[in-house]
Amino acid sequence: MPRFLNRELSRLDFDERVLAMAEDPKLPLLERVRFLAIFSQNLDDFFQVRVAGLKEQVLAAVAMASPDGMSPLEQLRAIRTRVEGLVQRQMDIFNDELVPALASAGISLVRGEDVTKKELSQLHTVFRQQIFPVLTPLAVDPAHPFPYISHLSLNLAVIVRDQQRNQTRFARVKVPPVLPRLIPLVEGQRYVPLEDVIALHLQSLFPGMEVVDHHPFRVTRDGDLDDVDSDAEDLLAAIQTELRRRRRHARVVRLEVNPGMSPAVLELLTRELELQPSDVYSSGGLLDLAAAGTLTQLDRPDLKEEPWTPTTQPRLRGLGAEVPDLFVVLRAGDVLAHHPYDSFATSVEAFIDHAASDPDVLAIKQTLYRTSGPASPIVRALIRAAEAGKQVVALVELKARGDEQANIAWARALEEANVHVVYGLVGLKTHAKVTSVVRREGRHIQHYVHVGTGNYNPSTAHQYEDVSLLSADPDLGADVTELFNLLTGYSRQQRYRKLLVAPTSLRSDLAHLIEREAKPGGRVVIKVNNLVDPELIDTLYEAAQRGAEIDLIVRSMCSLRPGVAGLSERIRVRSIVGRFLEHSRIFSFGRGEEAEHYLGSSDLMPRNLDRRVEVVVPVTDSNLRARIQDILDICIADDVLAWELHADGSWHRVPTAVGLNSHRRFQELALESARSDSAVARVVPHA
């Protein structure tokens, strides 16, 4: 039995757990639809990054096997088998369960051939006024080469016949992504897929021709920019050039079709897209079920989870209508916020907004990996601070996958506001989530810092579970200052007072902390998104063999094989999949009051430990350490949302005994805290 599990198949295991949420009849109907859409988005990401990378290895004749012993070609074959089964399950759930259930709830998905005469008349108007002007049919003949098919685009392959010349031709019609995928009809909550509306009107696109047949198809291309030359003198220009190149030349890695596509059309597509039969995936029904996620935006609270409104962390509330002075609060002690249960807006956003407005703040320095663009409250605060004359530095990561173009746009908006925008270290992606605020207080300078596990993105902060630490600790302030000197200037800083930083010391620091617990009575608890680093897995194996009890909470990929006699019988691995996406990275070493707790941006993957700038910070306040321990304990006790990894590599739901849903428990704790704090506020007089 291999000591490591394959990381790619482990990622598909996670996608299967997401798919299982869509199968759960206990969930509200539109929540099941949401999980089905998330599964589709995850699979798109998997193909454009992971499958694309394996294909590059095959083309380059890379002979190196993965840590579990599989060659790139063996992995691709195993992936195809798994994906075929998962996609079939997805379509069965959608066609056999969700579509009928939606119809019973008054939300009908209608295919083109099933619309009524009245609806068809309405669609004629919609097509003529809103759809037809956007379409561009592209012919394929000796004078018109096969057109470029864009990444993740949905298309119609159309066969037309010129009866005068008795010739049959192929044409491609792209389904415009700028239009809604589901077109609403007048008669109740009925929706028709956009591609079906186009198909009903193909004759108007090819007047004088006979439309013989049409078939939908979808293309996925290589979408990873990690191979961009980070040593380029102008990284911004290099990224822009690569984005333009990828739009035209990125290799196709997947073709999705319906089973009814004619062999001739399928042969044409595979030939022109330079694909093998193993790259073609056939599924009955709608292609790109991520589009079904638009239904979750309907005003149907009866079909959704009850909305969650984050509460304000107690020490950040102030009294009555007063807005607290966050710098006074932080000088009195560190603050920990657990998102989305604790509000991102009244903690992290408020911290940066307060710094931007405070006349005594001299400088704000921040890393930005992903955010919600120029309209983001954080970006606006940085611009306002720069316009007020403060020294503002934004380290923008241009290679944040999927957000490259957006990051370029708002990086330029920051530059126009006189924010100093830098793009990080040569050869490394900056993934750390850190902010430094420098403030003049009397005759001395005070540093305030934020270190978090999640992005500075107010949009995802409502759905991603993360942890933030706000502090006025002088050692942390000095560390973060030196970190920014490393990121923006010339520095060979290797060690810090408190911070653990990749790629310099984080790997060895974590290994040392694990090794310290490698004894009877030793204790390690780690919560991450992914655990695939072979060296640290071996360190965990060795610690378990020497007597340490180890609990790992891993949302997605896990290459460690738990429960193997003589290797890992003291290691337990679980994954929590539920309403909120588990995203925090938390590390705990030791037991009781002596335990050390850390939080930060790094997963346990070679790329995070060796090829990225990551920051992990110790939590030293005893009350906050207790809260971190509570978070871990609740995750370990969850028997509703939790899955457990077995020694054979299979995942199984944890049997429900107590009925502890960690997400609901964290909501309850946040509400209890809000109520108790409100009661105190009513009896405490204003100063």
**What is the Cα–Cα distance from 349 to 365, expressed in whole angstroms?**
14
| Amino acid at site 597 | H
If DSSP codes are grouped into helix, strand and coil, which group holds residue 81? Answer: helix
Structure tokens at 451: 């270190």
* 124 annotated active-site: no
- Is the Cα dihedral 86, 90, 92, 97 positive or negative? positive
Q: Is the dihedral of CA 425, 430, 432, 437 positive or negative?
A: positive
Residues 6+ apart with CB under 8 A from 228: 235, 238, 239, 242, 399
Residue 162, classified by CB atoms within 10 Å of its CB into exposed (0-12), middle (13-18) or buried (19+), is middle
What is d(CA 90, CA 36) in angstroms, rounded to the nearest whole number? 7
Spatial distance between the Cα atoms of 608 and 454, rounded to a whole number of angstroms? 14
Give the count of beta carbons closer than 10 Å to the beta carbon of residue 570: 20
- Quick check: 547 and 568 in contact, CB under 8 A? no
- Tally the residues of the chain: 687
Beta-bridge partners for 582: 465
Contacts of 271 (CB under 8 A, 6+ apart): none
Cα atoms in the 13 Å half-sphere on the side-chain side of 8:
30
Q: Determine which one of 215, 354, 431, 583 is catalytic.
A: 431
Q: Which two tokens stand for residue 256?
A: 């999705």
DSSP state of 558: B
Cα angle 48, 54, 55 (rounded to 5 degrees) comes to: 80
In whole angstroms, what is the distance from residue 269 CA to residue 275 CA? Answer: 8
The angle formed by the CA atoms of residues 566, 567 and 573, to the nearest 5 degrees, is 130
Instruction: Give the integer Cα–Cα distance in Å for 584 and 84.
Output: 31
- Cβ-based neighbours of 227, under 8 Å, separated by 6 or more: none
Burial of 336 (0-12, 13-18, 19+ CB in 10 A): buried
Compute the distance between CA of residue 307 and CA of residue 480 in angstroms, rounded to an integer. 37
Q: In the 8-state DSSP scheme, what is residue 376?
A: S
The verdict on whether omega for the bond into residue 520 sits within 30 degrees of 0, i.e. cis, is no
- CA torsion sign for 403, 404, 410, 414 is positive
**Coil/strand/helix, residue 566:** coil
Q: Which residues are catalytic?
A: 431
